[in-house]
């Protein structure tokens, strides 16, 4: 398990180091969990865009026991993300009609019924996590 955590941390570090920051939405917290979202392509466009939701705990360990669902508007159905093993990474393609105005809604659910809804402005991907 320790080796998996190290591999996950190295992977996330490489993704951050290799990118220019664009395509990454500002992180949010849910309790002790840190929720980060990356957009593929890194410059969102009209049509299908893939969103990677990365969830880690306060010690930066992957949180892999969630059900993560996404949508880019109240008029869309919830789409359950696919979990990439036990890495804390969840991915799903979602239709985006206007990346400058739409909000990505991320619903996180624990198996015990606890849940939350986080909102990420997709336009932030044009600027990167620091806002510019």
For residue 85, give its domain range: 2-126
Report how far residue 67's alpha carbon sits from residue 50's, in angstroms, rounded to the nearest whole number: 17
CA 12 to centroid of chain Cα atoms? 12
Pair 53, 90: CB distance under 8 Å: yes
Number of domains forming the structure of the chain: 1
CB atoms within 10 A of CB 131: 8
> Residue 91 has what pLDDT?
97
> Residue 74 has what pLDDT?
95
Q: For each of the chain's 132 residues, which pLDDT tens digit applies?
A: 565 554 544 454 444 444 445 689 999 999 999 999 999 999 999 999 999 999 999 999 999 999 999 999 999 999 999 999 899 999 999 999 999 999 999 999 998 999 999 999 999 998 755 444
CA 105 to centroid of chain Cα atoms? 10
> Residue 126 has what pLDDT?
87
Structural domain includes residue 132: no
> Residue 128 has what pLDDT?
56
Q: Give the CATH number for residue 112.
A: 2.60.40.10
Structural domain includes residue 10: yes
> Residue 132 has what pLDDT?
45
């Amino acid at each position: 398990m320790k080796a998996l955590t190290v591999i996950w941390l190295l992977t996330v570090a490489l993704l951050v180091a290799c990118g220019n920051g664009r395509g990454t939405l500002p992180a949010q917290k849910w309790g002790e969990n840190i929720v980060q979202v990356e957009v593929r392509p890194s410059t969102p466009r009209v049509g299908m865009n893939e969103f990677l939701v990365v969830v880690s705990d306060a010690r930066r360990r992957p949180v892999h026991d969630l059900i993560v669902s996404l949508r880019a508007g109240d008029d869309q159905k919830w789409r359950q993300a696919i979990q990439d093993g036990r890495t804390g990474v969840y991915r799903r393609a979602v239709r985006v009609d206007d990346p400058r105005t739409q909000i990505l809604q991320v619903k996180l659910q624990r198996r015990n019924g606890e849940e939350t809804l986080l909102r990420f402005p997709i336009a932030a991907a044009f600027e990167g996590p620091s806002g510019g």
